[in-house]
Structure 1
């Protein structure tokens, strides 16, 4: 599991945008919705609803080289479309019929991983991540933003909450590392603001 941080995600999208705007949009959409690549290929315009809130209904998957099938969890799920990518999803739907694939390439063709990687220059822009790591990015992003684990389980389609908890644990290790880095940063004494190392606090009772 190698999710991107939000900062890294924006850097990847910006780097790809120099080559292909639609590929950059797809990276952001995948990283905010958590759809698997096969699900991105299968979602239709009719699966996108703007009211009462913007959502994608994930009903099927379309792995490359095989027939369309049910999702990995074998049941439909609803995923919200955050403001960060709402305009991008709307642009993908513009001018298409309800049964048309919602997400297509910049030329309007069906998505293929090899074509996406080529147009996005993924080997140089993707920060050594797999396409599937964009799904990991979304799940970690939701949890980091404070969405509860049960809701994240529903949005991601995890069959078991234990799978979702793996992401919670991963975020814990990231938080631990960030905290340790702060502890090890020169100049952080850990004392009260303005207090020098070894100096007693004259306001402390008993001193």
Structure 2
């Protein structure tokens, strides 16, 4: 943050900080999204300062033209930013300019009228059901510490068995997973709550970890802890998955997040409907869930052949 102080007028920086606080408080965007928008607008203001030859002022962005935004995106592309990053850059800038426009400080028409960069189509790459089942067992884990092996298996079982994001799994507390629990209350992106069924085999994996864990696990603290007793970090599980890829000859797409994709894809293959899968994943829009329809084409064709009168 200190670096940008020389690249923008204090009044503009003050408005930017108010906007970022609003994103966190009123709109409840995730920490990762707010950090990305902070970085994007910082890069934009630094670019504008070089572009204009003086620290960027509110008056400099009051009637920002599409050509100015295109020049910024072109500079980012030259530095290696891909279409997804460029699209996020533009989304963050639009949000910031709309915020300033509501306060009567700028005209955001130039940013609103500009097309977002065309995004490449990218389908999830799930594991096979056999691969997913293999790596979610305690026996498959490579740690020499039994409790850590049980911990890793429990986390992976939650990702595949409940379709959780890794951040959601690592935010669970012992109170969320008590014996006999049939469903799990999950807080996802934007603090949105959802309920997902909890398979008995997943709860058994969690119970096995709790019995072996050498640390006291308070009911309102993180359930999963690291080797020294602090909250388990995602990077630890990501490294364990990397080891499992090598040990079991799994493809490069075998990541913790691929287990969430596998959860959705295997449900679809088993006859699950998109609306239900949308609810289980916590997607705000069905269009986000629909990307899974491109994964299991064979299953969709089978449904078509069996159901369509003319098939």
**Whose relative contact order is higher, 1 or 2, with alpha carbons under 8 Å and at least 6 apart?**
1
- Following TM superposition, by how much is the alpha carbon of 1:163 offset from its aligned partner in structure 2, in angstroms? 1.7
2:251 equivalent to 1:127: yes
Please name the residue that 1:75 is paired with. Answer: 192
Which structure 1 residue ranges, 5 or more long, are not aligned? Answer: 60-70, 177-207
Q: CA RMSD in A?
A: 2.9
* Structure with greater Cα Rg: 2
Residue by residue over 1:20-57, the C-alpha shift from the partner in whole angstroms, topping out at 9 and shown as x without a partner, is 33223322221111111111121112223556x51221
143, 154, 157: which is aligned to 2:279? Answer: 154
- Following TM superposition, by how much is the alpha carbon of 1:145 offset from its aligned partner in structure 2, in angstroms? 2.9
2:132 equivalent to 1:9: yes
Instruction: Pick closer, same or farther for the CA change 1:166–1:117 going to 2, 3 Å.
Output: closer
Q: Contact (CA 8 Å) 1:22, 1:106: kept in 2 or not?
A: no
- Following TM superposition, by how much is the alpha carbon of 1:142 offset from its aligned partner in structure 2, in angstroms? 2.3
Q: Contact (CA 8 Å) 1:45, 1:96: kept in 2 or not?
A: yes
- Following TM superposition, by how much is the alpha carbon of 1:137 offset from its aligned partner in structure 2, in angstroms? 1.1
DSSP-derived class of the 1:40 partner:
helix
Instruction: Pick closer, same or farther for the CA change 1:124–1:36 going to 2, 3 Å.
Output: same
d(CA) in 1 for partners of 2:291, 2:259? 16
TM-score by length of 1: 0.66
Which structure 2 residue ranges, 5 or more long, are not aligned? Answer: 1-123, 144-148, 302-311
Instruction: Pick closer, same or farther for the CA change 1:34–1:80 going to 2, 3 Å.
Output: same
Higher helix share: 2
Instruction: Pick closer, same or farther for the CA change 1:175–1:146 going to 2, 3 Å.
Output: closer
Instruction: Pick closer, same or farther for the CA change 1:27–1:164 going to 2, 3 Å.
Output: same
The total of aligned residue pairs comes to 165
